[in-house]
Every structure is written in C-alpha cells, then in structure tokens.
Structure 1
Amino acid sequence: METDWTTLSIDEVVRRLSVDPAAGLSPDEARKRQETAGPNILPSKPPRGILLRLADQFRETLIIILLVATAVSILLREVKDAVAIFAIVFINAVLGAVQEFKAERTLAALKSFSGSIISILRAGVWKRVAPEELVPGDIVTLGEGDKIPADVRWLETQRMAVDEAILTGESEPVKKDASFVGQPGLSPGDQRNMGFRGTNIISGKGTAVVVETGRRTHLGRIAEMMVEMEEEPTPLQRELLRLGRQISYAILGIVAALLVIGLFQHRPFLQMFMVSVSLAVAAIPEGLPAVITILLAVGVQKMAARNAIVRRLSAVEALGATTIICTDKTGTLTENRMELVKVGLADGLREGDFSVARSEIAHILRVAVLASEVRTTDRGYFGDPLDVAIRRLADKLEFPAERWLKEAVRAGEIPFDSHRKRVSFLYREDGGFFLAVKGAAEEILAKSRRYALAGKEGEMTDAKRQELLGIQVELAREGLRVLGVAQRRFAEELPQEQWEDDLTFLGFIAFLDPLREGVKEAVDLSIQAGMRPMMVTGDYVWTARKIARDLGIPADDDAVYQGTDLSHRDAFASLEWDRAAVFSRVTPEHKMEIVRNLKRKGEIVAMTGDGVNDAPALKMADIGISMGLRGTEVAREASDLVLLDDSFSTIVAAIEEGRRVFDNIRKATYYLLSCNLSEVLTVAVPILLRMPLPLTALQLLWINLITDGFPALALGMEPPSEGLMSRKPRAAGEGILTGRLWRSMVLDGLLMGIAALSVFIWALHHPSGAYAEDEARTMAFAVLVLSQLVQAFVISLRSRSSWRQALANRTLVAALALSALLQFSILLTPAGRDFFSLARLSAAELDSIILAGLIPAYRFIVEQGVRKATIRRRAARQ
C-alpha cells in the first residue's frame, strides 16, 4: 500500500524513513536502500534488440517483393540465383540492423545524461551526487532553478514557489510550506508540503527528505504510460525523407516503365521482373535516412568528447548555420574562478595585504560572509564563486569566519533574484536584529540612506552617492566584478518588505575573474568563420567593454548598449544591429528581445544562459546553450546544448563539429545519389536500345552491397574539410544539395553510367567479335564498381589540398580497400565468377576496365585544371 506522505507530520515522515535529518543516511544504509529501490531513473522504452531490428529490415515493400521473386525462381529451378540474391539481401539486412542498433545505443547513452548534481547529506557531511544515486531517506537541499529530482517531503522552506505545470497543467506556481499537513486524497497541486520529481523551483529554497524515487514517483507512473511515444525527426531528417520519397517515386516510375518496355520487347518476364526489382532496391536511397541518423549520432558523440552535450539532434544541424553567438561573460569567457582583490571603503580603495584599515576590512568582510551561503564539503568550499572568494579572503587574512557564522542565529532571508540583484540575510543579535546585504553596487547604493567609515556613520547625500559610484566605475573599468555591501540594525521584528528600507552602506568588494585559456583564440576563430560573437551580460558596461576589447570583440561606443537603453521594446527597433557587440546590465526579458530582433534580421542565433529566467530566451534561440557547471536544471531543460565546462571555446568547437557533420552528410548524400543515377542509366539505356541487359539482378544487388554502405558511411567520418572555419555559415534553409551540387551530381552520375555503357557497347560490337555477352556484362559490371569507388575518393579529395590528406582518412581508405577486395574476390576466383555469372577477364580487358573506371578522376583533374587557369587569368588581370 502506498504511503500518503502529505498527511504525515515531519517527525512521522523521518521516523518512517528511519533517518536523522541532521546527519542523513550512512553510506552503508544508502547502498542497501539503492539495492532495494533501484536507481532513481524513470521508466523508458526498452531498446529494440538486434534480432528485432533485423526483422524490421525485411518489412520493406521492395525487399518483400524481391524475396517473393526469389521464391518464384526456386520454383522455376533457378536455385543458384535465388540463393545468391537471398544471401546478399540478408547481408544487407544485417549491416542495416547493426548500424541502426549502434546509432540508437549512442543516442540513448547521451539522453541518459542529466548534467545536474544534487547536494545531499550523508553521515553528517554534505556531498554532491548525481540524481540517479538518490534513495528514499536522503536529505537534500534545493533552490531556485533546480529541477526536483525525486518526490520529496519538505522539512524547511523559504519563500519557495514551484512550477508544477508538468503534473497539474496549472501555470500558476505553487507556494510550498513545510509545516503544512494535508488531508487524505489531495491532488498533487494541493500538497503544499510535497515536491514532485520533474517540477521546477521558481523561487526560494528548502531542505527536504526523499520519499519516493524512480518509477514510484508521480512522474514515474506517468512515464510508464509514455514509453511508446516516438521521437520527432529533425528538420534535416524530414528533408531527407522527403527527398528520398521523391527520388523513390521517380525511380519506381522509371523501373515500371523499363519493365513494361522490356515485356513489349518479349524479354523473359522473370528476368525483367528480377532486374527491375533489383534495380529499384539498388537505386532507391532507402538507407539514406538511416545513414544520416548514424552520422548525426557520431557527431553528437564527438561533441560530447569535446564537452558539449547535445540534447536535441536538430541542434547538430543548426550549429553549422550559426551566424551570431550571444554569450554570457562570467564563466563562459572568463574562468569564474573569482578572487577578491580589492575593497572599496567610503574613503577609497584597499588592496594587496589589506593591512591598512584592517578593522574596517574585517567588518565589511564579516557582513559579506553573513550575506553569503557557502558549504564546507568533503571537497572544500561549495557555493557561488563570489561567496567562496569572500570566504577564502577571510581565511587568508585569518579572520574568524567560522566563529562569525556560529555566533550568528539566522532569522530569515530574502533570496537573490535577477530583478532585485541582491540578497539579504537576517540574524538575531544583541536582543535585536541585524541584516547583512550584498548585491549589485548601484542597487545597494540606491537603497542606502547612510554610509559607515571607521566606526562612524554619515548621511548618504547625492554628492556622496556619486562619489561612491565613481569608485565603482574605477573598479569596473579595470575589468573587475563589483558588489556592494550594506547592513541594517533594528530592535523589533519588521515585515520582510521593510527590511531593506534604511540600509547603511559599508563599501565595495571587487573580484578578478581572469579570461579563460583559449577563449581569445576561439573568439578570433568564430570571427574568421563569419560569425559574430556578441556579449550579453548582467555586469557593468565598463567591465563588459574591457573584457570585450581584451578578446578582440569590437566595443566602440556605438556597439555597446546598456539595459537602461532598452527599457522600452521600441528601443530595440532603433539599434544598429549590424554593429551591436556588447549588451550590459541586461535582464532575461532583454535577452528575449535581443534574440527576437536578431532572428527578424535573418540571423541564426545561439544564446547562452544559466538561470531560471533565461529559459524563454534559450527556447526562442535557434540554439539554446546552457551551462553544465553553474546552470540551473530549468535552463538545461530549455536548451539544445549543454556545456560541461561552461566555456566559449566549447561553443566554437561544437559549431565546428556541426559544420563538419553537415559537410559529411552532404558528401554521403552526393555520393549515394550519383552512384544510384549511374546504375539506373546503365540498365535503362540498353533496354531502350533493345540491347542485352548489361547487369543481372544479382550483380545489381552486389553493387548495392559493396559500394553503397561502406564508402557512404566512411565519407561521413571525414575529418573537417580544409578552410571549414574560414567559410561563412551556410544560408538558413539551404538544402543538403544546392543547385550547383545537383548539377555536379547529375554530371558525375551520367559520366559513370556512360563509362560502363561505353565499355559494354564496345565489347558487344567489337570488330573482331571476340567478346561474348557475358564478357561484355562482366566489363560493364567491373567498370561501374570501380568508378563508384573512385567517386568516393574524389569526393573526399575535393575538400583537400593534396592526395596525401585525402589518404589520411583511414576509415575511407579501409572501406574502399574492403570493397575493392570483395570485388576482386569474385572477379578473380572461379567460384566467385560462377556465382555471379561473370566471365574471366584478360589483362587487356582489365586495362580497359581501369581506363574507363577512372572517369571520376579524369573529371576531377580537368576541373582542377580549369579552376587553376581561371585563378591565373584573374591574377593576370589584376
């Protein structure tokens, strides 16, 4: 029987779960509970096994028709051909099943990545673990931006509101109250003392005990009903499916016409039927979508190895077309490894060893420590980097930070949010109350009525406020991150909304956050690649401008905007978007407007974000990029890409990988379609000219086996083309094959088909009459295979500056070598020739085959010669 946890008091809940809220579970007990409850994961659709996938390969209409035809062949005692055809169809099916199985496993492994880390209490020590490790009875802390990782009973809440729309459909956040005890039968939306897996904390924070994990959670029970839902194809996959259908219809029309023409010519029905169906099987690119999925999956894997986790396959496609990267500053361009280097008091700056005005420094640091939240874990300090830097400076100066915290009795808190830009902690002290506040310097100054210096207080006049703002500007111009610190004392408890009404300003604390290693080079590379890096930050304009200039991002006055410039939506229409490079002091609403306006201009926008309120902008961007280290779970859920190291360099690396993947998909598609066209031409022309068939059904299927799969996949594994990051991004909506590539592909297909037909016709009509029909067919067959293998190498060579570089793709070389070896095994062995109805070839015939089969190489050489001559002519004119 399920426990109705909402009806139980806190004491009863922890008693039933046998856990001490002050210490948590012991490691041994947690291990035992995980063995009983299992990992904290949701039910998912089990992967289709290799045998089921193999069976799927035989459900294609054309394959079924071909198998029926082989059965008819057996009945007509054409056993050898029937067995051979079935063997090749089976091998093709096995290869297809293995490829699909590997692709699904790759994507499943990446989907399992959550990127989130939960802070839990085990044996009295706070640890950080993956959500999958949670067990019933674990004590967890969660706050704004976190996705609740299991069903929990709140033990303590502070101003907490949770978005439970995923469970209830209600858009209004639910306020949580740990002291609430519900009645039996309440719906999830009314259980104010409970948190449910998958819901998002919009504001506040709290401590809770885990009561249910995995499939026993509310979301887990829903997930069990959703495991059969299919994933939507990406835009690229949809385009390829459409292209594949169009080509399939065209080829089926051609094949049907050839079958009818052949029958009118009184050719044997079974022969024509088998050749027609085999041509359709070989020429229709039914495997193209599967190949593309595999290439996308491999690209995703490579991005993961470079610290970029793709959450949606469509992001791989969009990355290659990105024109603008809207990036945060802190932690993305800089290290987010804060060091508190300067303190600004009411009479000036202090830095270095801080030996001057030590008592004032001690006081401002005490208030800053009390206005921070840092946990001491088994790995050192854990918390916001600014808070950790404050604590480290206090330790370095041998101030008693631990004692300050132990002596302070916390009475309340107003958490930080992106609109208030400050945080306040209330403590009981000396029979009254003491408020410690820190946050954005201008916000703190605006709320301050007095300032303190050397134990004395003065009135905060407008002149003094401007003087202090001058110190802030001086610090910000040095590229430092600046916070203001203030305090307030009051004798009697006040309503929370009045706590910050009468603050006393203590000073500034300034942090140095050095540029990340390699980011300058990454910014240069993005500009070289035709993209525009745009800094979008909540920091001060002077700091943002300094960092931008250090990185080589244009930061002239007409390229830099502040949040105050964007107070009205109409203000965005008047911006010089072609020059805009830095946006400072922006809010999440500003981010959305920036994305919206850039997209209206036709830009493909990548936007970074880490907070709850960044989620709408991440959703709106073409590529939403969240932070794996400091991002909230809400931001990750809204994003297409998660950066494991939060670095701008990783964004550029992911874009480069996205371009590589698209380039290689284009190469594989070009290769498959040109080869398929050559096969159609080789079979169609002799039928129309009432000539003997140049290829048998079995030979067509063999060509499909050795030239379609291996080389196409190998082209998809190509390293980046030369100059990949020196090209402009491809145009939005640009198809796999542009008009120029379509024309080139058709020409290649025609040339390969003509080469095979020329040899076939030459052999049939040789003046000496020395060649039989089987020999002519064998020569055409060999030329077609050789030209297609050469075509794969030439496609690779077109993106390289030398043959040596093309040979560096060992996967392609191995695939071509394997295909060539298989081809030689049937051409040069009696068993192979007998099996495929081939004739033995003389040395002179082999020479003719090589001469004709190199047709793609001839075209490439001519093409290169024309290109070089054109370059020389242009240079001569200049």
Structure 2
Amino acid sequence: MSSKTLSKWSSSNMGLACTHAISGIGFAVALACGRNTEVGSMTDLCFKERSRSRSQKHQKQISYYMLLVAIVCFILLFLTTGFEHGHIVYEVNLSLLIGLTPVYLPFILYWGLRRTRKEMGRKQCHVRNLRATCTLGLSTVIVSDLVGTMTKRRMRVSEIFVDMGLLSVDNLDVSAQSPRFIELIRASVLCNDAVICPGNIGVPKMQKDMYGNILDIALLKFGLMILPSIDLLRHDHEKVANKHYNSEDKVQVTVHRTRDADGHLKLVLLMKGHCEVVIRRCSTFAIRDEELPLDEQLQEIILSLADGLLEAGRHVRAFAYKELSDELEFRRFSQVNTGLEGGEYKYRDYLAVDTYSLRFLGMIATYNPPRSTIPKAVDRCRAAGIKLIVVTQRKPKMAKALAVDVGILPAPSDTFQAVNLKRMPPTAEVVDMSQYADEKPQHQRRHIEQLILNQQDLVCAATSTDQLHWIADACRRLGAVVSVIGGTLHDTPAMRSSHVGVAKYGSAVMCEASADLILLDTSFATLVSVVGDSRLLFENLKKALAYCLATNICNILVYLFFFLLGIPLYIHIMDELILAFLVNLVPALTLIYEPPEENLMLQMPKVYDDFLLNSRLFFVSHILVGTIEAAAVFMTYFVFMADKGFLPRTLVALNIAWHDDMLDDITDSFGQEWSSEARRQLECQVSSLCLMSLAVMQCTNLVLTKTGRANLLAHGFRNWLLSLAVLLLICLCVQLCIMDSTVCLRLEGTNELHFGHFLLTNCPFMILLVFIETTRRYFIRLFPDSWLELATMY
C-alpha cells in the first residue's frame, strides 16, 4: 500500500478486500482483520441502537398519561374509603377511572398508522415498519443518493466520438457513417455483459427485455438499431475470456475467438472503461482509413472532450481493440471450451493477456435523464423546510451536472431573481468528499458538521461508506430528524443510524431488511409525497384526541359534585363504556380520514412541538369545550330532576341516602315519598340523559373538530365516514329515548324520556359551543401568530 495513502480502501494496489473474494485462489498480505475490515466496520455500524421513532415517543407519552390517571383515581379511592355504603363509593370511583382512562388512545394511534400505511402503499411506498409512518413527517433532513432515485434507471446513448468527431444521436445518419463507426458499435456490443432475455421473439427491438446493468443495456439497445443481427455477431465472435468491470480497475476486458476473411482463426481483445484508464493503454488511434500514433497532444484533446461530456452529466465509456498475435496467448485461448477445461475455470487466464499497445476506437456517451417529477419534488422539499443532502460516488463534475438537471443546484445561466423564485441556494456548490479521505475520522467528522451547518442544501460527490454514515450521524447529533435513502449494502449503516431508513425496490437484501420504507418506483418524488401523508396523520391524530378528551371534564365535575356537594349524580359504568367506545372512539377514528385543511407541505417541521398531548390541546378540550359540555349535562340533569320534583337545593347531601335500599321515605321538594325502586328507576333515566347530552354535544364537537383553523363551510364535508359517525350519534340518542338504559333492563316501566324536550334543553349549549369555536377560528385566521393562536392552536 502506498505510504501517501492513509485509507487502505482507497489505495490503488489493493488486490483483495476481505470477504469480497469469495471463490478461486489468491495470494495476498492481510492488512486488517475483524472489525478493521470493510465488512467488519459496516457490521459494527449496523448493529448500533436505532434512533427512537416518533410513535414510540407518543406511546410513552400516552403511557405516562394513563399512569397519572390511575394514580389519581387510586388516591381518590383511598380518600373516600371511609364513607358509608362502600359499594356505591367503589362504583363511582370505578366509573371515574373508566371515564378518564384513555383506553381509546392506543386504538386511535394504531388505526391512524394503519390507514397512513395504506395510503403510502397506494403511492408506491411500501411500509415495513409501522412506526415510521408517523416519524417521516417530522423529517428535517433527507439524505438521498442521486443516480436512480432522482434520475431514470434507463440510460440512452446521447453522443458518439469517432474519427475525431463528436456525433449527436438525435440527428444521426447511420448510412453516411464510416466503417470506424460500425467497428465502435460492434465493440460496444461484444464487450458487453447485457443479454436479451428469452421469450422476446417478435417483440420490437426497443421493447425487448434485457438483463444486465443499465449502461450495458443502453449500449446493447443502441446496437440493436445499428447492426442487422446481434445474435449472429456474438455467435461469430465467441467470448473466451472476460474480466468484468469493477470500481478498482475501471475497465472491462474481453477476448473473442473469430475467423478472418480467409477463414483463419484469430483472437480479438476488446476493452471498455473510463477514458483516462483506457487511453493510457492505447498507442494508436484509427481515424478513417489511417492509423495514427496516439501522442500526448492527441490524448489531451480526447481527455478534455471526455471532461466536457462529464460536466454535461454524461457517462463516458472509451473502447479499444487489439488482435492477439502471440503464439502462447493464441494457444492458451484456443483450448478454451474444447472440453479440456472445467466450466468454472473458463475465464481464468485473462490476467495473462497483454492489455497495452491497444488501438483506440472512440467513446460512447450515455445519458441518464432525470425524472420529470423531481424538480417539483425538490421545490416542495425546500418549501416544507426540509434540508436536502445528496450523496453520490460519482465525480464532482458529473454530480454537479446531474444536480443542475434535477433542480438541486441553479444552472450557470440562471439569474439571481430566477434562483430566488426557485428557492435555490445561490452559493451552493458540489463538495468533493475525496479531498477529506486521507484525514483522520475525527477531522472528517468536523468538516462534515461544518458543511452541514454552512450549506442550505448539500451535494457530496465521491463519498465513501464511512463518510455517508458520518453525514447521517452528524445530522442526528445536531438535532435533526434524518431520513436516509439507500440501495446498496454500503448504505445500510447510514440507514440504521437514521430515524427513518428508506430503501429502493430491488436493492440489496440487507438494505431492504434494515429499511423502514421501500420505494417501489425508486423515485425521490414518491418519498416527498408521502411526507405530506405523514404530516396529515399527525394533525388528524391531534384532532381525534381533542375530540375524545372533551368528555373528561364532565366526568371530573360529576365526581366532585357527588362527593363535595353530595349530589346523587354519577354515570353508570355501562354508560361510561358506551361513552368511551361508541361516542368517543368510533367517531374519533373517522377524523383520521379527514382531508388536509391547508397545505401541510408549506409548513416547517414541528420538531419542537412534537407532542400529541400538549397544554393547548388540554386547554381547548377541557376548558373551552369540556366546560360547555359539562354545563349542558348538569342543566339537563337539574331540569329533569326538577320536573320530577327534586329542586337543586333538595339534592344537596343526598348522595349516600339516595342509594340506601333500606330508606323508602325520601321526600322531594313537594313532599312526595320515593321508594328505593323508584329512585333506582329515576337514576337509570338520569344516567341515560347524561349519556344522551354528552352524545349530542360530542356530535356538535365532532363537526367543529374537522378543522383547526379553516372555515368549516369552505373546508367542506368530503369525509363521508364522519357524516356516518354524526348519524350514529343521533341514532344513539334516539335509541336511548325509545329504550331503557342498559343498566335498567331488569326494571319495569318505560323510559319516559322525550327527545324534543331534551333538545330544547341542550340547544343553547350547542349554539354556544358553535359560536365560541367558530369565533376562535375566525380570529386565528384574521390575526395569524397572535396570542390566541399561541394559546389555543394545538
């Protein structure tokens, strides 16, 4: 290894890299073992603890809330243990526990995650980890690769350099081309690992299915248009040796056995690879009908042209040719495929071939066009306050060209006004990460942190595996919520260290196994679109919780009135269960399907307000809405009891005596005596009335909770599930008027509840609730960022 190179993986004379040598025989010196190897370091990074997801924080918050409710109810039970008739005391405490315990919160959270997962699946984003559907909307940084995610995975040939001329494929006349052009195309088809899949007989040429990497497929498809028969060409030029392309050598070498015009056997060596690597192995250059020496001046001209193509975002491959005339080489390769050699040793002798003194044929440039949806997705990403970090192993020139194509960087011709209109950072540049590769890890991390803090958007070229992981880790340590898009085994450590790991479909098995989301269409625009779904989930979850928690203040006040004032009022346990599941849970689930009331992708990520249960939500649900609902319940109760003969002053301090079965002479305000059975019947009716009042008020609250800021009429009623939930609550109230309460089925007598009289009692409170909530939303819209929004906008 060179003494000037500190990184063993970036050294040019590394022969074997740990477990990448999986077959064959080789001799080498072991430079690293265990965790110091490339695979060992990736394994060590992959087994680090994952960052906590957003839903885990929500579940922990809900657990704390449920634990606090249980502790408070236990303390109240302990304080009220000394009362007479302990069975009614325990029943009232149990009723309060059931009424305050948010048993519906886990169901709402799970249903919201499940519904969002289904919506993401419709947008070609498969969710492997249900928790990631909520965390994704909180992302402040997205680390993405450039090729494949923002560009199409279908390359096409764009330019051809042959005979010292650069030809454009768009206006190419094949019939007017020289034999050197045909020779170059034949070389691109032969020195090629792509094959046409079986079963494509009769399929048009450009629609045939092919197997191989996207660059080889592009060259093969272009050869299909130029050459008459590729199958015949490959049959006449039998491949007897093949050195596959790799990132270390940057060339592919093939040896073909064919026959000349006189029928004599000959061997042809073809080379394909990066221009600067191939041109160093060439000594001549064929121009039209003459062969010229490839001097340094000519090499500089060709290399400068290749650099220009790279700056334009082209993938350039150079081709070279040589006939093997050495007798030893001829004898070695002429014995291949004659039955004397085993199949697995078929291509073992390619290293012995002299790959120098070649004849330069020309260059073919391919273009990987960007997806049409990417520029708009990048703009949405910037508008949503999400920092975009693009990481690629490509060279800086090509990375810059591709970044300009997809709209990440401004084009050199863009004016300052155009840059501002596109929300592009005017000073953004491509960072060559290879310049930091020789520094120590702690110094590289410091440079990465400075780049993240100084650049609005960042494009990192020539990035190594360690640097990709350090980028994700640095963003997380700086307080960002990171989502990483990867597709190879080397991306797995960065995906594991992020909050949300996103894999592309068809990527490495380890990469997909470590991912939370899988992009089925491998498009960056798909991820940006599902960020909006995740944000909508968070907003709708808070609406559902605000709706459900509005009944808590009524349960608390009923409990206080029972013990402090002695009012014989409490909601039966069965009615509490109906309230929790039919009145609260089922309608709250329909709020999950509510469409967005405003453009969520124009808002900043709510990193510092990442709480489902916050003080503003408790204030609106308990103080503004809950007190009005409680007032409606108490008004209904006192009106009904007064109608039966019990004025409010008569009910004070009557809680224990009311439930004493031995007392049959309790008198009302008009001197009428009430037996224990009559009181029990009246108590069942009162419990039904309280449930009906809460159901009617919650029905009004459900419609109002559709929006948090927008006008209800302008927002519309597109959520038909919520309309069914409103109908359910109305039917429940009517049913309670027709039938006895579920706790009174064992008693004789009719319900004697009148729905019209009940509505007249609750209508003023319904109108008051509509007026207060509508007025609050109006002033929030009229005065944005005012104290009212800061205090009540949950």
Mapped contact 1:334–1:514 kept (Cα < 8 A) = yes
Distance 2:249 2:472 in 1: 23
SS in structure 2 at match of 1:363: helix
Count of aligned residue pairs for this structure pair: 654
The counterpart of 2:22, out of the listed 157, 175, 188, is: 175
User: What residue in structure 2 maps to residue 7 of structure 1?
Assistant: none
Measure, in 2, the Cα distance between the counterparts of 1:812 and 1:873. 31
- The 1:794–1:820 alpha-carbon spacing in structure 2 relative to 1, beyond 3 Å, is same
CA shift, 1:270, in A, is 3.0
Deviation at 1:447, TM superposition (A): 5.6
Change (3 A) 1:596 1:701: closer
| CA deviation string 1:201-251 (max 9, x = no partner) | x9xxxxxxxxxxxxxxxxxxxxxxxxxxxxx99844433443333222332
Once the two structures are TM-superposed, the CA of residue 549 in structure 1 deviates from its matched residue by 3.2
Q: Distance in 2 between matches of 1:276 and 1:497?
A: 89
Structure 1 residue 815, shift from structure 2 partner: 2.0
Output aligned runs, 1:782-821, within 5 Å: 782-798=692-708, 800-803=710-713, 805-821=715-731
Letter in 1 for 2:696: L
Aligned to 1:188: none
| Matched letter for residue 210 of structure 2 | F
Q: How far apart are the structure 1 equivalents of 2:230 and 2:644?
A: 103
- CA shift for structure 1 position 308: 0.7
Deviation of residue 817 (structure 1)?
Answer: 1.7
Specify the alignment match of 1:382 in structure 2.
210
- Quick one: distance in 2 between partners of 1:318 and 1:443? 46
Partner of 2:209, secondary structure, is strand
3-state DSSP class of the match of 1:175?
coil
Q: Secondary structure at the match of 2:70?
A: helix
Q: Does residue 391 of structure 1 match 2:213? A: no
CA 1:366–1:597: 2 relative to 1, 3 Å: farther
- Taking a change above 3 Å as real, the CA distance of residues 382 and 253 of structure 1, as seen in their structure-2 partners, is same
Match of 2:187 among 322, 343, 367: 367
Structure 1 unmatched ranges of 5 or more: 1-159, 163-170, 179-201, 203-231
> In structure 2, do the counterparts of structure 1 residues 273 and 175 end up closer, same or farther at CA, with 3 Å as the change threshold?
same
CA offset digits 1:512-547 (Å, max 9, x no partner) = 333323332222222222223343334454444344
* 1:247-304 deviations in Å (ceiling 9; x for gaps): 22332233334445555443x4333333332432343123422332232122112111
Name the larger-Rg structure.
Answer: 2
Are the structure 2 counterparts of residues 625 and 767 from structure 1 closer, same or farther at C-alpha, using a change threshold of 3 Å?
A: closer
Any idea what SS the aligned residue of 1:295 has? helix
Identity within the alignment, %: 20
Give runs of aligned pairs for residues 701-720 of structure 1, distance below 5 A.
701-720=577-596
8 Å contact from structure 2 (residues 53, 132) kept in 1: no
Q: Does 1:270 align with 2:87?
A: yes
Q: State the match for 1:87 in structure 2.
A: none
Residue 861 of structure 1: how far off its partner (Å) = 1.9
Indicate the residue corresponding to 1:653 in structure 2.
529
Q: Is the 8 A contact 2:281 2:357 kept in 1?
A: yes
| Contact 1:826 1:836 (8 Å CA) reproduced | no
Distance 1:744 1:552 in 2: 43
1:529 to 384, 399, 402: 384
Structure with more relative contact order (C-alpha pairs < 8 Å, separation 6 or more): 2
What CA distance in whole angstroms lies between the structure 1 residues aligned with 2:739 and 2:51? Answer: 45
Question: Aligned letter for 1:388?
Answer: I
1:626 and 2:473 aligned: no
- Partner Cα distance (1:347, 1:864) in 2: 71
In the other structure, the counterpart of 1:238 is 56
Q: Which whole-Å CA distance do the structure 2 matches of 1:586 and 1:447 have between them?
A: 28
Which of 370, 387, 409 does residue 554 from structure 1 map onto? 409
Tell me the equivalent position of 1:290. 107
Distance 1:429 1:799, change over 3 A: farther
Change beyond 3 A, Cα 1:365–1:715: same
| TM superposition shift of 1:356 | 4.7
1:732–1:644 Cα change, 3 Å: farther
Q: CA deviation at 1:639?
A: 2.4
| Shift of residue 713, structure 1, vs aligned partner | 1.3
SS in 1 for 2:138: coil
Contact 1:418-1:587 within 8 A present in 2 as well = no
Q: 1:828-860: per-residue Cα shift (whole Å, max 9, x none)?
A: 446879549965136344212232245543431
Residue of 861, 866, 872 corresponding to 2:779: 866
Check the 8 A contact 2:257/2:266 in 1, yes or no. yes
Helix, strand or coil at the partner of 1:579: coil
Moved more, 592-601 or 824-833: 824-833
Within 5 A, what are the aligned runs for 1:478-877?
Answer: 478-490=312-324, 491=326, 492=329, 496=351, 504-555=359-410, 558-568=428-438, 570=444, 571-575=447-451, 577-628=454-505, 631-731=507-607, 734-748=610-624, 750-752=626-628, 754-756=630-632, 758-759=634-635, 762-763=638-639, 774=683, 777-798=687-708, 800-803=710-713, 805-829=715-739, 835=745, 840-841=753-754, 843-853=756-766, 856-870=769-783
Distance 1:658 1:831, change over 3 A: closer
Structural RMSD (CA): 3.8
Alignment of 1:436-451 (within 5 A): 436-445=270-279, 451=285
2:128/2:518 contact within 8 Å kept: yes
How far is the alpha carbon of 1:557 from its aligned partner? 6.2
Say whether the 8 Å CA contact 1:686–1:693 is kept in structure 2.
yes
Q: Alpha-carbon deviations, 1:686-722, whole Å to 9, x = none?
A: 3332211232222212211312221121112222342
Answer yes or no: is 1:468 the counterpart of 2:302: yes
Check conservation: 1:833, 1:840, Cα contact below 8 A: no
For 2:514, give the aligned amino acid: A
**Structure 2 counterpart of 1:348, which letter?**
G
Does structure 1 residue 310 correspond to structure 2 residue 127? yes
Partner letter of residue 596 of structure 1? D
Could you tell me how far apart the structure 2 residues matched to 1:688 and 1:584 are?
Answer: 72
Q: Flag the 1:596–1:506 CA change in 2: closer, same or farther, 3 A.
A: farther
Kindly state the Cα deviation for residue 727 of structure 1 after the two structures are TM-superposed.
Answer: 0.8
AA aligned to 2:242 is E
**Residues 433 and 463 in structure 2, CA contact (< 8 A), matched pair in contact too:** yes
Are 1:244 and 1:286, in contact at CA under 8 Å, matched by a contact in 2?
A: no
- Secondary structure of 1:695's match? coil
Alpha-carbon separation, structure 2, partners of 1:538 and 1:439: 17
Query: Do the aligned partners of 2:286 and 2:359 also contact (CA within 8 Å) in 1?
Result: yes
Deviation at 1:756, TM superposition (A): 4.2
Alpha-carbon distance in structure 2 between the residues aligned to 1:682 and 1:254: 16
Letter in 2 for 1:520: P
**How does the TM-score come out when normalised to structure 1?**
0.67
Offset at residue 801 of structure 1 (A): 3.7
Q: Secondary structure at the match of 2:318?
A: strand
Q: How far apart in 2 are the matches of 1:839 and 1:503?
A: 104
Is the contact between residue 797 and residue 806 of structure 1 (CA under 8 Å) also seen in structure 2?
A: no
CA contact (8 A) 2:696 2:729 kept: no
CA distance in 1, matches of 2:691, 2:539: 30
Partners of 2:525 and 2:308 in 1: how far apart? 29
Q: Give the alignment of 1:45-60 within 5 angstroms.
A: none
Task: Note if contact 1:341-1:510 (Cα within 8 Å) is conserved in structure 2.
Answer: yes
User: Structure 1: how far apart are the matches of 2:477 and 2:289?
Assistant: 56
C-alpha displacement of 1:550 = 4.0
Shift of 1:435: 3.9
- CA distance in 1 between counterparts of 2:584 and 2:495 reads 39
Amino acid corresponding to residue 73 of structure 2 in structure 1: V
Letter in 2 for 1:626: A
**Post-superposition offset of 1:650:** 1.0
1:439-473 per-residue CA deviation (whole Å, 9 max, x = no partner) reads 44444446656544446555555443332222123
Matched AA of 1:655: V
Q: Which runs of 5+ in 2 are unaligned?
A: 1-14, 26-38, 40-49, 201-207, 260-264, 333-348, 411-425, 648-667, 669-681, 788-794
